[in-house]
Amino acid sequence: MIKKFDKKDEESGSGSNPFQHLEKSAVLQEARIFNETPINPRRCLHILTKIIYLLNQGEHFGTTEATEAFFAMTRLFQSNDQTLRRMCYLTIKEMANISEDVIIVTSSLTKDMTGKEDVYRGPAIRALCRITDTTMLQAIERYMKQAIVDKVPSVSSSALVSSLHMVKMSFDVVKRWVNEAQEAASSDNIMVQYHALGLLYHLRKNDRLAVTKMLNKFTKSGLKSPFAYCMMIRIASKLLEETEGGHDSPLFDFIESCLRNKHEMVVYEAASAIVHMPNCTARELAPAVSVLQLFCSSPKAALRYAAVRTLNKVAMKHPSAVTACNLDLENLITDSNRSIATLAITTLLKTGSESSVDRLMKQISSFVSEISDEFKVVVVQAISALCQKYPRKHSVMMNFLSNMLRDDGGFEYKRAIVDCIISIIEENPESKETGLAHLCEFIEDCEHTVLATKILHLLGKEGPRTPTPSKYIRFIFNRVVLESEAVRAAAVSALAKFGAQNDDLLPSVLVLMKRCMMDSDDEVRDRATFYMNVLQQKQKALNAAYIFNGLSVSVPGLEKSLHQYTLEPSEKPFDMKTVPLATAPITEQKTEIAPVATSKLPEKLAPCRQDIYQEQLAAIPEFQALGPLFKSSEPVQLTEAETEYVVRCIKHAFTNHMIFQFDCTNTLNDQLLQRVLVQMEPSEAYEVLNYVPAPSLPYSQPGSCYSLVRLPEDDPTAVSCTFSCTMKYLVRDCDPNTGEPDDDGYDDEYVLEDLEVTVADHIQKVLKPNFGAAWDEIGDDNEKEETFALATVRTLDEAVNNIISFLGMQPCERSDKVPENKNSHVLFLAGVFRGGHDVLVRARLALADGVTMQVTVRSTDENVVDVILASVG
Amino acid sequence: MDTLILEPSLYTVKAVLIMDNDGERMYAKYYDDTYPTVKEQKAFEKNIFNKTHRTDSEIALLEGLTVVYKSNIDLYFYVIGSSHENELMLMSVLNCLFDSLSQMLRKNVEKRALLENMEGLFLAVDEIVDGGVILESDPQQVVHRVALRGDDVPLTEQTVTQVLQSAKEQIKWSLLR
């Protein structure tokens, strides 16, 4: 089988590699011998191989030269050399997108596909489908149908897989081959079964009923192919997810039965499917975990890897379910495959006890430099989780993290470490100084601008409040001297915060600021000048407003308002209060992602939810005169989950009005609803001004209707109200299959649950990074204080959560976390009331029998203070 | 935790790669747009090679993709799939590729032998994976379908029959037109 090339080629190919130093032009020159008669199969074969090799190396072929070579190649169909013909098919496939007029070979390929040579038929089908478009496909439809049910497996498989590729392009044509695919699915050949199942699923996936039937049929008849079983498990778990079927359904039983399959591939697929199911109980997990446990001691690295990776995922949700495997995982710590060892250790860190932490950390630091960045991130995430679980271990962790920070690594890895250190600092006040020291050391030599600015910001926030703030100044000022513009600007802002908060440092900060004013970059100079002037005033209120607590408006909103302002020049100065506020930064969700391709996703700055609503509402003419959108609430369900119509409401607050947006979904496939609106009956002095109905609501396509309500003007304290809601609409019955409605319909109505408007709907959350400064800034002009007894509340935690959710304000200074074993706590809340009035709440809580609460409210508007106190009482 | 359930699909393999012991591409076939340009592909290959060529540990996670690999003398074989893919499926593709080549090259899986049989390699991969779908996982079947003919037909004889054959073909061809 080893081929000897022609002598000439042997010599020209330098030494061992005949393909080294291939010149595209020379090869194309050689391709001229395709036109010689008689055809020399051996030489032609060698040249085709060279062409494909070049394409494979990423060599670029121009359209003209590719077309020329392609046309010369078509002549080779005259030769009957098997290998040569097969290479022609490959060339066709490789050149399908580069050369022009590739369809010229259609007839030759059709001939081969229906011919007697079985060796040709499969590859010919695949090549043919590669160059075929929808119109041509119909011409060969007959042959494709025959090929799908052909008794030669390679032909049948090729036809099925090619059909699958073409589903994307010509779904309607391929759909007609469903019967043939069905027949192929009962083939004896395992690959044909697999391919037929895949094609059938793709053709039917939009029809849940058909998929269920298909699955039932195959689970009963039993397939031989392990690949097909894996596919069925995936289909079954997808169905389970969609139907939210309970775990007593036959689908779940099927997946569980696959745990006893004789192929490891199927067993693993089933175990992984069960683990990934949402809301799986520990009991249901147990069989899956025990097969994974067996796999942990497999001699195959891939299987061990798969098992421990899946166990790692289980451990995130159900650490107790994995503890049974701890012994097996311990054995994997020393695995020669570092990925497996890392996963084993991080799993153990999640399931193990506090006493084993030190040992595991020591083990992991012995080889952390050998593993890839992806796994280092996994390690850091595990540590981060561990710190939350065992706060007392933070010194061990901090040491370890700082060592990792010194090692080489990519951006993602460093960011994970920095995030982890920051979260430890926030959780454990006693670790603050060491943590900040490590971070200071890190930014001395940090190539990532984003991280450096982030750390500088943190230093500015936390540094001034440490016992010895002066030691951070040096680190920060070093940045001003050495780094890029963005970092220098961040360093200037951080310096300003030190100056504003520490009077004894102020003179030195001012000196440093003066030097920054000579910077070469505009932004740095501007910031330095600005802060310099603010600091020289030595006024607490100014410091608070311009140095500690920055703007709280939404940036896209500000951009839009400013643009609007420049379009319509007016005498009035631009009013900051007309700009919609930024929705409070949702505390970073600690999603524990497996090391997937997160780093590759482009990080888009998605417009936040409220900006989207703002756009949508502004597009409705009735709502244009209302001013900027102040706040949009979370959706409230107004129906039970399983009813004919599903309605949820979003409350949009404006300065003097509210809009209620009702998102309605019609779940009856035999009805078309038209002119849908929700009638509202207020309990208080609210006045319903206008309804904007949804014109039409077909089956399962959500639509929105709106109600506009004016808030009572004479009584600003009337902030809460209950509305009774009724949905009114015109019903037209329609054919469930075609969706064709009857000509006439009838009016009907549907009673919804009552809708409550509470004080939280009028307040937007705003984070004040320095609450104390903001508190002083507002001053005590409108301060009121009252004491309440919360008799029903038993713990401080519960009280804190109740207050936050009731007032809808942003907890500041991490005061929403109540330290353990304390009898008293102070909660700081900040927000902006409708109309743009800042409001701050300080709630002192004391735990005796019930919880006693002393609430102090400050605001720029007196009414707001009354509203808050009245609603708390 | 990502509870995402994958869209059931036959598209399993993202790429098949073969490199030599300098990390140079011997063969590379990408089946989707994860790495659309040659530049990105080469960078990815370099990264893979650097991370894997010193260890013989069979499986790794790189750039968010699962990579299963195997080395023999001076060749490195890689099969790449999504990180959510069943690792054993990828492994079966890798094993099938390696075993098929091993049979075709008479257990002589090394760079030189492979270079002399590049067309065999091209055809074998074409039989194992088609556009990302696993087409065949049994090396016997693959070898059978590739059906590379040896040198058993003497050269002179072959040329005579060939001339006759092609003459016949020529006539047929001109008639067809």
Condensed to tens digits (0 to 9), the pLDDT of residues A674-724 reads 888 888 888 777 888 888 888 888 887 888 888 888 887 777 677 788 888
- Cβ A73 vs Cβ A48: under 8 Å: yes
Whether pLDDT at A763 is above 70: yes
Nearest to B58 among A238, A302, A592 (CB): A302
Q: How confident is the model at residue B159 (pLDDT cuts 50, 70, 90)?
A: low
Residue B163 to chain A, least CA–CA distance (Å)? 6
Structure token digits, residue B53? 């060529």
In a domain, A535, yes or no: yes
Give the CATH number, domain containing residue A765.
3.30.310.10
Of A81, A93, A91, A145, nearest to A119 (Cα)? A81
Q: How confident is the model at residue B117 (pLDDT cuts 50, 70, 90)?
A: confident
Beta-carbon separation of B115 and A16 below 8 A: yes
Of A148, A150, A156, A152, nearest to A178 (Cα)? A148
Residue A660 to chain B, least CA–CA distance (Å)? 33
Whether pLDDT at A4 is above 50: no
Residues of B in contact with A408 (CB under 8 A): none
Q: What domains does chain B contain, in order, with CATH numbers?
A: 13-150 (3.30.450.60)
Count Cβ–Cβ pairs < 8 Å, chain A vs chain B. Answer: 226
Whether pLDDT at A248 is above 80: no
DSSP H helices in A20-175: 24-30, 41-56, 63-74, 82-95, 106-114, 118-131, 134-148, 153-167, 171-175
Strand-pairing partners, residue A838, are A832
Amino acid identity at A668: L
Q: Could you tell me how many helices (H) and strands (E) chain A has, helices first?
A: 37, 17
Q: State whether residue A800 is helix, strand or coil.
A: helix
Beta-carbon separation of B119 and A48 below 8 A: yes
Q: What local confidence, expressed as pLDDT, does residue A268 receive? A: 94
Q: Is A25 exposed, middle or buried (0-12, 13-18, 19+ CB in 10 A)?
A: exposed
Q: State whether residue A723 is helix, strand or coil.
A: strand
Structure token digits, residue A355? 């006493």
**Would you mind telling me the total number of residues written for chain B in this entry?**
177
Mean per-residue pLDDT for A133-154?
89
- Cβ A312 vs Cβ A346: under 8 Å: yes
Beta-carbon separation of B86 and A268 below 8 A: yes
More confident residue, B50 or A718: B50
In the listed set A548, A568, A601, which residue is the last one of a domain according to the structure?
Answer: A548
Whether pLDDT at B15 is above 90: yes
In a domain, A586, yes or no: no
* Max Cα distance, chain A (Å): 105
Of A377, A404, A266, A329, nearest to B61 (Cα)? A377
Show Cβ contacts of residue A328 under 8 Å, excluding neighbours closer than 6 positions. A293, A296, A297
Structure token digits, residue A13? 């190919």
Q: What local confidence, expressed as pLDDT, does residue A180 receive? A: 92
Q: What local confidence, expressed as pLDDT, does residue A19 receive? A: 77
Show Cβ contacts of residue A438 under 8 Å, excluding neighbours closer than 6 positions. A398, A401, A402, A405, A421
Give helix A394-406 / helix A411-427 axis angle, nearest 10°.
160
Judge if ipTM > 0.90.
Answer: no
Structure token digits, residue A162? 């090619």
Give the CATH number, domain containing residue A630.
2.60.40.1480
Same domain, residue pair A738 and A787? no
Mean per-residue pLDDT for A82-87?
88
Q: What is the pLDDT of residues A814-844, one digit of tens each?
A: 777 777 777 888 888 888 888 778 888 888 8
Interatomic CA distance for residues A431 and A454, integer angstroms: 19
Structure token digits, residue A172? 């309607």
More confident residue, A195 or A243: A195
Whether pLDDT at B2 is above 50: no
Peptide bond into A38 cis (omega under 30): yes
Structure token digits, residue A285? 């997990």
Q: How confident is the model at residue A194 (pLDDT cuts 50, 70, 90)?
A: very high
- Cβ A647 vs Cβ A664: under 8 Å: yes
Q: What local confidence, expressed as pLDDT, does residue A579 receive? A: 66
Q: What local confidence, expressed as pLDDT, does residue A846 receive? A: 85
- Cβ B15 vs Cβ B68: under 8 Å: no
Interatomic CA distance for residues A258 and A218, integer angstroms: 13
Amino acid identity at B61: L
Whether pLDDT at A743 is above 90: no
Mean per-residue pLDDT for A714-736?
81
Same domain, residue pair A775 and A722? no
Beta-carbon separation of B149 and A90 below 8 A: no
Nearest to A56 among B28, B42, B68 (CB): B28
Least confident of A20-24, A31-35, A552-556, A632-636: A552-556
Residue B23 to chain A, least CA–CA distance (Å)? 13
For the entire predicted model, the pTM comes to 0.65
Same domain, residue pair A740 and A626? yes
Amino acid identity at A561: S
What total number of domains does chain A contain? 3
In a domain, A846, yes or no: yes
Nearest to B62 among A57, A374, A594 (CB): A374
Q: What local confidence, expressed as pLDDT, does residue A607 receive? A: 54
H-run or E-run covering A679: strand A671-682
Interatomic CA distance for residues B14 and B19, integer angstroms: 16
H-run or E-run covering A661: strand A657-666
Peptide bond into A299 cis (omega under 30): no
- Cβ A793 vs Cβ A825: under 8 Å: no
Same domain, residue pair A767 and A753? no
Residue B90 to chain A, least CA–CA distance (Å)? 9
Tokens 């703002």 belong to residue: A614
Residues of B in contact with A53 (CB under 8 A): 118
> Would you give the DSSP letter of residue A701?
-
Whether pLDDT at B1 is above 60: no
Beta-carbon separation of B135 and A157 below 8 A: yes
Calculate the dihedral angle through the C-alpha atoms of A81, A84, A85, A90, rounding to the nearest 10 degrees: 170
Least confident of A203-212, A581-590, B75-84: A581-590
Q: What is the pLDDT of residues A347-359, one digit of tens each?
A: 888 877 777 777 7
Beta-carbon separation of A2 and B106 below 8 A: yes
Beta-carbon separation of B64 and A374 below 8 A: yes
Residues of A in contact with B59 (CB under 8 A): 301-302, 305, 337, 339
Which domain covers residue A819, as residue numbers? 760-872
Nearest to B87 among A56, A79, A302 (CB): A302
Q: What local confidence, expressed as pLDDT, does residue B173 receive? A: 66
Residues of A in contact with B134 (CB under 8 A): 191, 194, 227
More confident residue, A183 or A772: A183
Structure token digits, residue A441? 């050391």
Whether pLDDT at B115 is above 50: yes
Tokens 């090549």 belong to residue: A127
Residue A265 to chain B, least CA–CA distance (Å)? 6
In the listed set A548, A567, A590, which residue is the last one of a domain according to the structure?
Answer: A548
B50 close to A (CB below 8 A): no
H-run or E-run covering B66: strand B65-72
Give the end-to-end CA distance of chain B in Å, rounded to a whole number.
Answer: 64
Amino acid identity at B5: I
- Cβ A88 vs Cβ A102: under 8 Å: no
Residue B45 to chain A, least CA–CA distance (Å)? 12
Same domain, residue pair A732 and A861? no
Of A485, A558, A481, A478, nearest to A523 (Cα)? A485
Q: What is the pLDDT of residues A455-473, one digit of tens each?
A: 888 888 888 878 888 888 8
Same domain, residue pair A768 and A813? yes
In a domain, A40, yes or no: no
Residue B11 to chain A, least CA–CA distance (Å)? 9
If one counts every other C-beta atom within 10 angstroms of the C-beta of residue A609, the result is 12
Residues of A in contact with B151 (CB under 8 A): 3-4
Beta-carbon separation of A595 and B83 below 8 A: yes
Q: What local confidence, expressed as pLDDT, does residue A494 receive? A: 86
Same domain, residue pair A750 and A766? no
Of A169, A127, A176, nearest to A148 (Cα)? A176
Show Cβ contacts of residue A815 under 8 Å, excluding neighbours closer than 6 positions. A771, A800, A825, A826, A827, A828
- Cα→Cα distances A591→A316, A398, A414, A698, A767, Å: 10, 21, 18, 37, 22
Q: How confident is the model at residue A447 (pLDDT cuts 50, 70, 90)?
A: confident
In the listed set A710, A727, A757, which residue is the last one of a domain according to the structure?
Answer: A757
Whether pLDDT at B171 is above 50: yes
In a domain, A392, yes or no: no
Q: Provide Rg for chain A, Cα atoms.
A: 35
Q: How confident is the model at residue A13 (pLDDT cuts 50, 70, 90)?
A: very low
Sign of CA dihedral B8, B14, B18, B22: negative
B141 close to A (CB below 8 A): yes
Tokens 């090391």 belong to residue: A595
Q: What local confidence, expressed as pLDDT, does residue A451 receive? A: 87
In a domain, A699, yes or no: yes
B157 close to A (CB below 8 A): no
Nearest to B136 among A49, A82, A191 (CB): A191
If one counts every other C-beta atom within 10 angstroms of the C-beta of residue B86, the result is 24
Q: How far is CA B177 from the centre of its chain?
A: 37
Same domain, residue pair A743 and A663? yes
- Cβ A185 vs Cβ A225: under 8 Å: no
In a domain, A664, yes or no: yes
Residues 17-36 of B with CB under 8 A from A: 25, 27-29
**Which residue of chain B is at minimal alpha-carbon distance from A107?**
B176
Same domain, residue pair A768 and A851? yes
B162 close to A (CB below 8 A): yes
- Cβ A799 vs Cβ A793: under 8 Å: yes
- Cβ A806 vs Cβ A758: under 8 Å: yes
Same domain, residue pair A719 and A776? no
Beta strands in A450-562, from DSSP E residues, in sequence order: none
Sign of CA dihedral A617, A619, A621, A624: positive
Of A15, A22, A67, nearest to A46 (Cα)? A22
Whether pLDDT at B149 is above 60: no
Beta-carbon separation of B122 and A90 below 8 A: yes
Residue A231 to chain B, least CA–CA distance (Å)? 6
In a domain, A521, yes or no: yes
Same domain, residue pair A620 and A737? yes
DSSP H helices in A750-814: 771-778, 796-807
- Cα→Cα distances A600→A309, A603, B65, B80, Å: 21, 9, 11, 16
Same domain, residue pair A701 and A770? no
**b/e code A112-125 from CB counts within 10 Å (16+ = b):** bbbeeeebbbbbbb
